[in-house]
Structure 1
Amino acid sequence: MALLEVNNLDVRFALRQGDVKALRDVCFSLDRGERLGIVGESGAGKSVAAFSLLNLIAKPGYIAGGSITFDGQELTSMSDRALRKVRGHRISMIFQDPMMTLNPVLTIGEQMIECLKAHRRISSREARAISLRKLEQVQIPSPEKRLNHYPHELSGGMRQRIIIAIALLLDPDIIIADEPTTALDVTIQAEIMALLLELCEKHNVALVLITHDLGVVSQVTQRMLVMYAGRVIEEGPTREIINDPQHPYTQGLMNALPQMATPGARLNQIRGSMPSLNKLPTGCAFHPRCDFATRPEGTPRAACTDEVPGFVSSGNCRVACHMVAEMQHAERIPVEEKPS
C-alpha cells in the first residue's frame, strides 16, 4: 500500500457568485522514499494541491470531495487535534518564502525548540541538542551561533537551510516543498535542491516538490504530475515525460524552455493564458490554446470542445487528452514543428 493516496480530490472556494473549482478529480499516490514533482503554470492548482494534503486550505476554500489517505488514515475527516499530530511531525512542509515562515521576533533556537516540544515530551536541553544536530545536517556553518540569531540576521540561502532543518526536526515520512528556491539566486537554488535531495535519500523521506522549473524536476524527482486549470493532465515517470511529452500542454511547456529556441530567435510560447477557474472552457480546458484541437481544415474537433477528456495510457504515463490515441496510431507532429 502506498504511503499517501489521493483519490478524486475536489477543492472549491465559496464565493458570492458561486463555488469556484480549484481542484477537480485529482488522483495520485506516493510511496515511502519516492520523489514526486508537480508542475504547471501559475494558477494550475499546484499549491492548492499541496495545502490540501494537510487540510491547510484557508476559508472560503474547502475540500468538497475525494479522499486523502496517509499511512492508512483518512486525513480529510480527521479532527484538528488529530491533524496536529500529523502536521509538522509525520508530514512537514517547506514554503516559498522563509521570511514568511520564520517568526521574526524569536531566535532560530527558540523556534526549533518550540516545534520539538509541541510534538514530543522532552526537555529544552534535549530539544536544543536535536536542533543543533539538524543544523549540522543541513550544513549550516557555526550552528551553535545560528541558534541565537534572528531570521533577519541570516542570508536567504541560510534561512532556507534552516527551514529544511525545521522540516526534518521530527523525522517526517513526507516533506512537501512548495517552490522552495523561488526567492534565491541560481547558484544557491542548486545548492539547496542538492541538499534536499541528499537528505531525502539518506533518511528515506518521500518528497512532493511543487515547482514551475522543469529542469529541477528532471534532476530531483522520479515521477511527475502536470497540472492545468485545477486538473492533472499527464502523469508518469519523470524521464519518460521529459523525453517524450504526450499532452499538447506538456509539449508546450517543454518547447518554452530557452534551450529549445533557435539562438537569436524569439522564445517559443504557448499562445493565450490560463483560463479563470470560474470561467473554464467547455470540454478540455486547454482546447482554446491547443493546436491539435483544430482540424487541418480549420474546424474545431467536437470532442475537444464538448467533452472533458478521460485518462488514456501511453507507455508508462496517463494522459488526459482526446488526441493521444490518434497520435499513437499516426505519425505525431514533433513538438518543435507544431503549426503556429
Structure 2
Amino acid sequence: MALLEVNNLDVRFALRQGEVHALRDICFSLERGERLGIVGESGAGKSVAAFSLLNLIAKPGFIAGGTVTFDGQVLNRMSERGLRKVRGNRVSMIFQDPMMTLNPVLSIGEQMVECLKAHRRISSKEARRIALDKLQQVQIPSPETRLDQYPHELSGGMRQRIIIAIALLLDPDIIIADEPTTALDVTIQAEIMALLLDLCEQHNVGLILITHDLGVVSQVTQRMLVMYAGRVIEQGPTREIINDPQHPYTQGLINALPQMATPGEKLNQIRGSMPSLSNLPSGCAFHPRCDFINRADGKPRPPAPSRCLNLSNPATAVWRVIWWLKCSKIAV
C-alpha cells in the first residue's frame, strides 16, 4: 500500500450561481521517498489539489467526494483534532510566499520553537537546539544570529530556506511544495530546488512539487501529473511523459519551454487561455485551444485518460487511442 493514495477526489465551491467543480476524479499515489510533480497553467487546480490533501480547503469550498488516505488514515474524514496531529508533523507544506507564511512580529527562533512545542513535549532549550540544527541543514549562514532575527531582516532566498527548515523540523514523511521558487530569481531558484532535492533524498522524504515549470519537474521528480481545468489529463514516469507526451496540452507545455524556441524568434505558446470552471466547453476541455481539433464535436465530456490508471503500462495504449478518437477530430 502506498504512503499516500488519492482516489476520485472531487472538490467543489458553493457559489450563488451554483456549485463549481474545482477538481474532478483526481487519482494518484505517492510512495515513501518518492518525488511527484504536478504541473499545469494557473487555474488548472494544482494548489486546490495540494490544499485538499490536508483538508485545508476554506469555505465555500468543500470536498464533495473521494478519499485522501495517508498511512492507512482517511484524512478527509478525520476530525480537526486528528488532522492537527498530521499537519506539520507528518505532512508539511511549503507555501508560495514566505512572507505570508512567517509571522512578521515573531523572531525566526520563536516561530520554530513554537512549532516544535506544539507537536512534542520538549523544553525550549531542546527545541532551540533542533531549530539550530535544521538551519544548518538548509545551509543558512550564521544560524545562531538568524534565530534571533525577524523575517523582514532576511533576503527572499534566505526566507525560503527558513520555510524549508520549518517544514523539516518534525521529520515529516511528506513535503508538499506549492511553487516554492515563484518569487525568486533564476539563480536562487536553482539553489533552493537543489537543496530541497538533496534534503528529501537524505531523509527519505516524499515530495509533491507543484509548479508550472516543466524544466524543474524534469530535473527533480520521478513521476508527474499534468492537470487541466480541474482534471488529471496525463500521468506517469516523468521521463516517459517528457519524451513521449500523449496529450496535446502536455506537448504544448513542452513546446513553450524557452529552449524549444528557435533563437531570434518568438517563444512558442499555447493559444487562448484556461476556460472558466463554471463554463467548461463540451467534449475535451482543451479542444478550443488544441491544434489538432477542427471544431467542437458536441459530445459529452469523456473521462480523463489517466483516471486511476498507470500510463506507463502498455496495456492502456489501446484505451488511450479510443479516448483520443472520442474527444477530438484529428486534422488530416
TM > 0.5: yes
Paired position in structure 2 for 1:213: 213
Normalized against structure 2, the TM-score is what?
A: 0.93
Q: After the TM superposition, which residues 163-242 of structure 1 pair with which residues of structure 2 at under 5 Å, given as runs?
A: 163-242=163-242
Is contact 1:35–1:207 with CA below 8 Å preserved after alignment? yes
Counterpart of 2:202 in structure 1: which amino acid?
Answer: K
- Matching of residues 88-237 of structure 1 within 5 Å: 88-237=88-237
Displacement after TM superposition at 1:268 (Å): 1.4
Distance 2:29 2:92 in 1: 17
The answer (yes or no) to whether the contact 2:302–2:323 under 8 Å persists in 1 is no
Kindly state the Cα deviation for residue 213 of structure 1 after the two structures are TM-superposed: 0.7
Whole-Å separation in 1 of the counterparts to 2:305 and 2:97? 35
Residues 225-234 or 264-273, more deviating: 264-273
Q: Distance in 2 between matches of 1:36 and 1:155?
A: 28
Judged with a 3 Å threshold, the aligned counterparts in structure 2 of structure 1 residues 177 and 314 are, in CA distance, closer, same or farther, namely: closer
Q: Shift in Å at residue 267 of structure 1? A: 1.7
**Is residue 39 of structure 1 aligned with residue 39 of structure 2?**
yes
Separation in 1, partners of 2:85, 2:310: 40
The one-letter code of the counterpart of 1:104 is P
Alignment-derived partner of residue 276 in structure 1 = 276
* Alignment partner, residue 300 of structure 2: 306
Aligned residues: 326
Contact 2:232 2:304 in 1 (8 A): no
In structure 1, the residue corresponding to 2:232 is in which secondary structure?
strand
Change (3 A) 1:309 1:204: same
Residue 44 (structure 1) shift = 0.0
1:186-205 CA-partner distances (Å, limit 9, x unpaired): 00000000000000000000
Q: Which amino acid aligns with 2:321?
A: A
**Deviation of the 1:283 alpha carbon:** 1.7
* Alpha carbons of structure 1 residues 321 and 96: separation in structure 2 relative to 1, 3 Å: farther
**Please, which of 305, 321, 330 is the counterpart of residue 325 of structure 1?**
321
Kindly indicate whether the alpha-carbon contact (under 8 Å) linking 2:109 and 2:131 is maintained by their aligned counterparts in 1.
Answer: yes
Asked whether the 8 Å contact 1:235–1:317 carries over to 2, the reply is no
Report the counterpart of residue 334 of structure 1 in structure 2: none
2:312 paired residue number: 316
Distance 1:139 1:39 in 2: 28
CA–CA distance in 2 between the matches of 1:169 and 1:185? 26
The one-letter amino acid of 2:46's match is K
CA drift at 1:293: 2.7
Contact 1:175 1:205 in 2 (8 A): yes
RMSD (Å) for aligned C-alpha atoms: 2.4
In 1, are the aligned partners of 2:282 and 2:296 still within 8 Å (CA)?
A: no
* Structure 1 residue 307: Cα displacement: 3.3
Structure 1: gaps of 5 or more residues: 330-337
2:81 corresponds to which letter in structure 1? R
Quote the sequence identity (%). 80
